[in-house]
Structure 1
Amino acid sequence: MLVCELREVTYKSKGAGKRTCRVLSVHVYQLQQQAPQPRRIVCTMEVENKPKYYGREFHGMISREGTDALLGDVEGSYLIRESQRQPGSYTLAIRFGGTTKNFRLYYDGKHFVADKRFDTIQNLVADGLITMYIEAKAEEYIKRMTGEPIYEPCGYLSLRKRTSRVVTTFSRTVTTATIDEVDNFSSISSSTSQSSENSSLDLALSPSKRASTEASSYEKPHNFKVNTFRGPHWCEYCANFMWGLVAQGVKCADCGLATHKQCSKVVPNDCQPHMKYIKKVYGIDLTTIVKAHNTTRPVVVDNCVQEIERRKDGLLSEGLYRVSGFNDDIEEVKLSFDKDGAQADISESTYEDINTIAGALKLYFRMLPIPLITFDVYPKFIEAAKIADDKDCLRKIHETLDELPPAHFQTLSFLMAHLHRVAKCDKFNLMTAENLGMVWGPTLMRLADTNSLAGLTDLKFQRRAVELMIKFQDALFN
């Protein structure tokens, strides 16, 4: 008989104090306890050519009829035999539900018949018996589980009973006093003629749809990985027991949400990464890191740009972003951000060479698993860059920008504004928008297939796309 229970879950809703959600769920945990226990059928004879990773449950090449006779009518009895039709392949035979269940058996250092892998055959059989028993006793309920979740009315954060944590909101304001002061120098006023010429091109572009997006509204899918839970564990989507001995479900590597594998397919894209799961800054998906830090852009980008623009001769440094800093110093900056986040010390007293900070910023973008110009929109940027007419090219780029994920758009907009200010000082730093495009193109965009020769032919189009975004950043992003 199917065992059910009516449980009450207390949670805290926004602005409404504590509420109680009553959840009717199958007590699958009790069903797991009632599942048949594995009973090994030992072979009493010596079997030639027995694989070394099987024990006395291996009976060699026997027929299905012989297998049935050995298993008898005892639920949970099992043995391993070699296939008569395909020598060298092995079958796990288990007695369940009054019949013999046969499974093709594999070994790659662990034993498995499907996705789950086990150290011993005994554990594999025990897990299989639990799964078959629960599916037989609660088949209809399992089908309904994802359709009657507690996730929406109750919210999974309440079930997880996490301890409250303080979310530090990092400063997103970049000091621009340095460049404002530089623009007042009469010696540089003439170098801004390029900017004036660019702004005279009437693009008639509408404001970007992403210009006002806040970090809190960034949509992020969960990063689910198969997980083995120690001790009894309940799904945080449907509130039902997660059965089995290993790989009972999946767990989000970014926020820790644990669900059944089938439930994970219907969980909304509302992952809120938790810093206890995000152990570093470099090499982490951009949307993940900004949601974890609750910032509009990655803290590395904000802090490095702020430091470069704060320094007296920062924007005037010859070859800025083209001249390499010392690799050891750049690695130190990277490790500092990974360890300390926004508190990383990249001040001039610690790193006098500004190329170290510039190199650390470029390294951050190179290490992104999904580049700033994402793989999905990369072909459209290249297609746009191939258009000879600047106006038509820019309109195409403008359309494509709105297809970027919000975190990518905001970061790109911020970076292009900074590089525009760098280009305005090209008389001193010798870094025109064209030069910056050559440096930053391959850093900000790349093909998913890094071995493709198409990446080499795309270099000039990468350069042009970035160059135009730098020149016309105000029209394209604002």
Structure 2
Amino acid sequence: MIKQTSALKMSNGTEQNSPIHKVWKPELYKIQLEAPTPKALLRSDDIKDDLLPDCYGYEYHGVMDHKESETLLNEKCDGSYLVRQSPGATDFYTLSLRFNSRTKHYKIYYKPNCGHFLKEDFKRFETIHDLVADGLVNFYMQMHAAPIIKSMMTQTKNSYQQSPYMTLNRRKLRALSNDLRKSLKYDNQPPNDNATSITTSLTAASITNSSETKTTENTQKQNEENMNHLNLNEKNQASTVDDSDVLPVVYQKSHKFKIHTFKGLNWCEFCANFLWGFTAQGVKCEDCGFIAHNKCSELVPAKCLPDMKKIRGVFGSDLTTVVTAHKCTIPFVVRRCVEEVEARGMLQEGIYRVSGFADEIDALKMALDRHGEKTDMSESAYSNINVIAGTLKLYLRLLPVPLVTYHAYPTFIQSTSCTSIGEQVLKMREAVKQLPPAHFNCLKFVIEHLNRVSSHHAVNKMTEHNIATVFAPTLIATPPHLTDLSQEIFALTSLITHCHAVFMN
């Protein structure tokens, strides 16, 4: 039953296949096999139908106190159990269970369509037999596997590099890491002469006296020195990075772990130990399928590598997940919608303000989720360009984390209190640098598109302010219950107006 795989080993900066060896650790599986199994103690007499709970059979012994139940279970083997009603109890039943030559008593509950459980927020079981079986395994593990479990709870971050997940995905992860490293290096290149002249003229226009100009120049000089120092540190750090660190901190994507009940035998992909129990044994990432113990998942780095097979659709999915799974920088939904709007909607009066037909937007959403890039979005399929524009707004609105993230939001809003345009640009540039790469690239793409839309405001009536009013609730991670979006609209207006200076390389 032990899973085996070919381990990958580093040698002189290259990857070689080592002889097949056992990756998974079978100790916990062996211990689970030794755990006692449930043995219901059945009653010998009948109980009136009106007093017999529908959820129990002959393991139910009616009203019985703990002393009587202990007498019945005394001398019985471990795993023996019965269900009873404690005297005076009205909303629960009692499970009396024999383990380690002692009788334990637990309050148990049952709800139709929910099953049997010990607590409201605890595991649910279809039968009382399953509940007892799972409990016996956990009792036995706590007694006989404590050293192994304690070792699992003290795992270090190095365990990730040696984990089965890394063993199986090392090449794939390294390729992604190298691509991101090159992209980051390109983004950190100093601005070209044209970009520098744009910033210089923009800053100069916003300064009203020579002393302010001098201060700004000194600030820019200091920023350039800090950037050069940062780049030098990154180069030095890159030269000392161990080749075995195949996925450096450049890549950040949190796993989407959910409690999961596994069928058959499964092992943790972090610590390689068996997932014991019969239900809710651990967690599973909905984006990449990473399997782990609940506690081990807390130690897993935020380096999820999404699998297209596990992503149900692009609408409502995390942005980093989508671009990583599709191996792109801009989600195809955003790119295709922008292309259609720019081809046939730039002169449309009220573009993005006028709503398209809801049923057509919903139909296009379903088509994009189902057919992806192949979806027909031409004029013959969707003649009303407002449907395309509405679909783009819907996609951005359904993002779990908006383009301007909660982390970048405070810095973004601080730009509204700046006294000059130059200071606003510098503050917004600081804000967008706090965005994850996927958010930065997509926000840049969308904002530059909106800037082009606003350049036709004489015809389409959509000025920067009008567009910002429409998109502020969609693009910015505003605090809950915030109703006054004047600051957000002001900041977004400024971002659209000065996007080329904010996003310049």
TM-score bracket for this pair, using the shorter chain length = 0.7 to 0.9
- The aligned counterpart of 1:138 is 145
Structure 1 counterpart SS, 2:474: helix
- The aligned counterpart of 1:243 is 276
1:421-463 per-position Cα deviation (integer Å, ceiling 9, x unaligned) = 22222223221111111111122135464xx3xx322x22221
Verify the 8 A CA contact 2:313 2:370 in the aligned structure 1: yes
C-alpha deviation, 1:380, in angstroms: 5.1
Identity of aligned residues (%): 40
Matched, 1:431 2:431: no
- The aligned counterpart of 2:306 is 273
Matched, 1:10 2:12: no
Verify the 8 A CA contact 1:199 1:472 in the aligned structure 2: no
CA distance in 1, matches of 2:40, 2:447: 67
C-alpha deviation, 1:275, in angstroms: 0.9
CA distance in 1, matches of 2:152, 2:333: 42
C-alpha deviation, 1:70, in angstroms: 1.4
- The aligned counterpart of 1:360 is 391
Give the counterpart of 2:321 among 284, 288, 293: 288
- Which residue identity lines up with residue 40 of structure 1 in the other structure? A
Verify the 8 A CA contact 2:259 2:280 in the aligned structure 1: yes
Give the counterpart of 2:93 among 80, 90, 94: 90
Verify the 8 A CA contact 1:423 1:433 in the aligned structure 2: yes
Give the counterpart of 1:465 among 491, 498, 503: 491
Call closer, same or farther: CA 1:367–1:66 in 2, change over 3 Å.
Answer: same
Give the counterpart of 2:162 among 129, 153, 165: 153
1:77-120 per-position Cα deviation (integer Å, ceiling 9, x unaligned) = 11223344755333322111121222231223311125221010
TM (norm. structure 2) is 0.76
> Which stretch of the first structure deviates more once superposed, 103-112 or 249-258?
103-112
Call closer, same or farther: CA 1:49–1:160 in 2, change over 3 Å.
Answer: farther
Give the counterpart of 1:227 among 244, 260, 280: 260
1:322-343 per-position Cα deviation (integer Å, ceiling 9, x unaligned) = 2223333323322222122222
Matched, 1:456 2:489: no
Matched, 1:111 2:144: no
1:219-246 per-position Cα deviation (integer Å, ceiling 9, x unaligned) = 1111111112211112211222211122
Residue ranges of structure 1 left out of the alignment (5+ in a row): 170-195
Give the counterpart of 1:320 among 345, 351, 355: 351
> Which stretch of the first structure deviates more once superposed, 35-44 or 399-408?
399-408
RMSD: 3.7
> Which stretch of the first structure deviates more once superposed, 148-157 or 276-285?
148-157
CA distance in 2, matches of 1:301, 1:24: 42
Matched, 1:331 2:362: yes
> Which stretch of the first structure deviates more once superposed, 118-127 or 260-269?
260-269
1:384-438 per-position Cα deviation (integer Å, ceiling 9, x unaligned) = 4466765555544443333333322221122111111222222232211111111
- Which residue identity lines up with residue 277 of structure 1 in the other structure? K
Structure 1 counterpart SS, 2:252: coil
Verify the 8 A CA contact 1:218 1:291 in the aligned structure 2: no
1:132-188 per-position Cα deviation (integer Å, ceiling 9, x unaligned) = 11221111111113528864225416559999xxx9x9xxxxxxxxxxxxxxxxxxx
Structure 2 counterpart SS, 1:106: strand
Call closer, same or farther: CA 1:217–1:331 in 2, change over 3 Å.
Answer: farther
Call closer, same or farther: CA 1:344–1:404 in 2, change over 3 Å.
Answer: same
Matched, 1:46 2:56: no
Call closer, same or farther: CA 1:62–1:447 in 2, change over 3 Å.
Answer: farther
Give the counterpart of 2:374 among 335, 340, 343: 343
Call closer, same or farther: CA 1:239–1:155 in 2, change over 3 Å.
Answer: closer
Matched, 1:102 2:105: yes
Call closer, same or farther: CA 1:269–1:59 in 2, change over 3 Å.
Answer: same
- Per residue, is there more helix in 1 or in 2? 2
Give the length in aligned residue pairs.
Answer: 436
Structure 1 counterpart SS, 2:29: helix
> Which stretch of the first structure deviates more once superposed, 459-468 or 117-126?
459-468
Call closer, same or farther: CA 1:16–1:142 in 2, change over 3 Å.
Answer: same
- Which residue identity lines up with residue 337 of structure 2 in the other structure? C
- The aligned counterpart of 2:503 is 477
Call closer, same or farther: CA 1:336–1:89 in 2, change over 3 Å.
Answer: closer
- Which residue identity lines up with residue 258 of structure 1 in the other structure? I
Verify the 8 A CA contact 2:202 2:422 in the aligned structure 1: no
TM (norm. structure 1) is 0.80
CA distance in 2, matches of 1:154, 1:128: 29
Verify the 8 A CA contact 2:164 2:272 in the aligned structure 1: no
Give the counterpart of 1:125 among 115, 132, 144: 132
- The aligned counterpart of 1:263 is 296
Verify the 8 A CA contact 2:163 2:272 in the aligned structure 1: no
- Which residue identity lines up with residue 491 of structure 2 in the other structure? A
CA distance in 2, matches of 1:378, 1:7: 46
Call closer, same or farther: CA 1:436–1:36 in 2, change over 3 Å.
Answer: same
> Which stretch of the first structure deviates more once superposed, 388-397 or 344-353?
388-397
Verify the 8 A CA contact 2:365 2:391 in the aligned structure 1: yes
CA distance in 1, matches of 2:377, 2:171: 34
- The aligned counterpart of 2:239 is none
